[in-house]
Amino acid sequence: MLKNLISDLKKLEDKKQAQLLQGFFKTGKGQYGEGDIFLGIKVPVQRKVARNYNDLSLKDIQTLLNSKIHEHRLCALFILTHKYEKTKKKEIVDFYLKNAKKVNNWDLVDSSAHKILGDYLLDKDKKILYQLANSNNLWEKRISIISTAAFINKNQFEDTLKISEILLNDSHDLIHKAVGWMLREVGKRDQAVEEKFLNKYHKIMPRTMLRYSIEKFDDKKRKFYMRK
């Protein structure tokens, strides 16, 4: 089954698209996606392929996550997410956490963290998210904040705000964007909660984080918060 999945993806390879994606996902030397290899397959097509392999074993999913090919890892995460949504098993969450460093580009994190880890932790101790937020690994940190999207969807904002505080001084643009995005999602549900956070931190927040967080505000409020 694994060989068939890899073969199906290989048949869909688009070298021109792959070249564009390798630039978009910053795969050059010293960049966040260094060494990532793309086949050039669009995401909806990958989802369609992945649906044919939802019975793939965790052992085979591990093989895909070990691959340097981006589409292999993304398909693995689509399948893993399906398995989790179907069973809600802790085994799948543990498997995801064990492989967190291999969920190593922003689209991989954003398509899986809240659907697996976030959902699982809705009614459980959130300690692991704080460990991830304090990690030295970029992707573990992004997983920590994106996972809280599951809580935001239930109007639970506390952990999003606390993890945003931890990541406030992070140096990486991908963390600035992720935190700003989650704060914006909080604000869409309760703007007063977001503004309370912004009133405390907007003067020291990275500009990208701030811009993302106030994107849905009216022009007057955006100008107020952008003024330092």
Residues 6+ apart with CB under 8 A from 192: none
Neighbours of 178 (CB within 10 A): 29
Q: pLDDT at position 51, please? A: 96
**What residues pair up with 69 in beta bridges, in sequence order?**
37
Question: Looking at the predicted structure, is the pLDDT value of residue 228 above 70?
Answer: no
Q: 151 pLDDT band (50/70/90 cuts)?
A: very high
Question: Looking at the predicted structure, is the pLDDT value of residue 30 above 70?
Answer: yes
- Retrieve residue 32's tokens: 């966040």
64-102 confidence digits (pLDDT tens): 999 999 999 999 999 999 999 999 999 999 999 999 999
Average pLDDT over residues 99-116: 97
Place of tokens 């939802």: 54
Mean pLDDT, the chain, as a whole number? 96
Q: pLDDT at position 92, please? A: 98
- Express as a percent the part of the chain with pLDDT over 70: 100
Q: 227 pLDDT band (50/70/90 cuts)?
A: confident
227 or 67, which is more confident: 67
Question: Looking at the predicted structure, is the pLDDT value of residue 42 above 80?
Answer: yes
DSSP 121: G
Average pLDDT over residues 32-53: 96
Nearest to 157 by CA among 194, 124, 126, 129: 194
Average pLDDT over residues 105-109: 97
